[in-house]
Structure 1
Amino acid sequence: MAPYILPIGLLIASNVFMTFAWYGHLGHKAAPLWIAVMVSWGIAFFEYWLAVPANRIGHQVYSAAQLKTMQEVITLVIFAGFSVFWLKESLSWGVVAGFVLIAAGAALVFRG
């Protein structure tokens, strides 16, 4: 059961780290850019410690395309929450509709 479930949990955790690495600095615009880059790089280091095992373990039971698709959908869900709660940005109907269309495309990847 672990190869089916563990990669999903690891991908969720890795995406939380990566979302903060890529977008967390937007909440601290007064910080110099070089500091934002270095802090983001440090956060991304830990993301790799989760993403690489997720893909290595997950590839036992999922194709690479399925793993990538899972990662993208997880990224969108985490980013949506991050955008609302950390960046205090609202999600427009167009953004939500776009995310739903991406999720529909993901469903096609898993069908066949």
Structure 2
Amino acid sequence: MPTVLLLLLSNVFMTVAWYWHLKGGMNKPLLLVILISWGIALVEYCFAVPANRLGYAHGWSAGQLKITQEAIALLIFGGFMVTVLGEPLHWRHLAAFLCIMAAVGFLFVGRN
């Protein structure tokens, strides 16, 4: 559970780092946006690296860690897209998420 919690936190910061400037920041100079995003991403790494080390130490494979991170990223981004960017969710988003969740299932089936 600590691995998933750390991955959740890291994805919140990474989503903000990548997309914060799309709403209200488009008039800022690109270099400034990049530097601000790097600062936010530094915090993300402070959660992502321990999450991966902890998960791997507890028997998760690299593939399991990656696909779990991708599923979490879709959840976090979906919420960000709706609440911050004001974009609607469509059935395509749900279908894509279900495909990723199927990939998670495939990598965890038969896990020792």
TM-score, structure 2 normalization = 0.92
Q: Deviations over 1:36-81 (max 9, x none)?
A: 1110011001111110011111101211111111101000000000
Partner of 1:53: 50
Q: RMSD of the alignment, in Å? A: 0.9
After superposition, residues 6-45 of structure 1 pair within 5 angstroms as 6-27=2-23, 28-45=25-42
1:88 to 2:55 alignment = no
Q: Which runs of 4+ in 1 moved over 6 A?
A: none
**Candidates 94, 108, 111, aligned match of 2:109:** 111
Question: Is there any run of 5+ residues in structure 1 with no aligned partner, and where?
Answer: none
- Contact between 2:71 and 2:100, CA under 8 Å: does it hold in 1? yes
CA distance in 2, matches of 1:104, 1:26: 30
* 3-state SS, counterpart of residue 90 of structure 1: coil
CA distance in 1, matches of 2:92, 2:8: 24
CA distance in 1, matches of 2:20, 2:89: 17
How far did residue 6 of structure 1 move?
Answer: 0.9
* Number of aligned residues: 108
- Contact between 2:67 and 2:100, CA under 8 Å: does it hold in 1? no
Question: Is there any run of 5+ residues in structure 2 with no aligned partner, and where?
Answer: none
Q: Deviations over 1:61-107 (max 9, x none)?
A: 21111111110100000000000001100111112211211211211
How far did residue 31 of structure 1 move?
Answer: 1.2
- Contact between 2:22 and 2:85, CA under 8 Å: does it hold in 1? yes
Equivalent position amino acid for 1:19 in 2: T
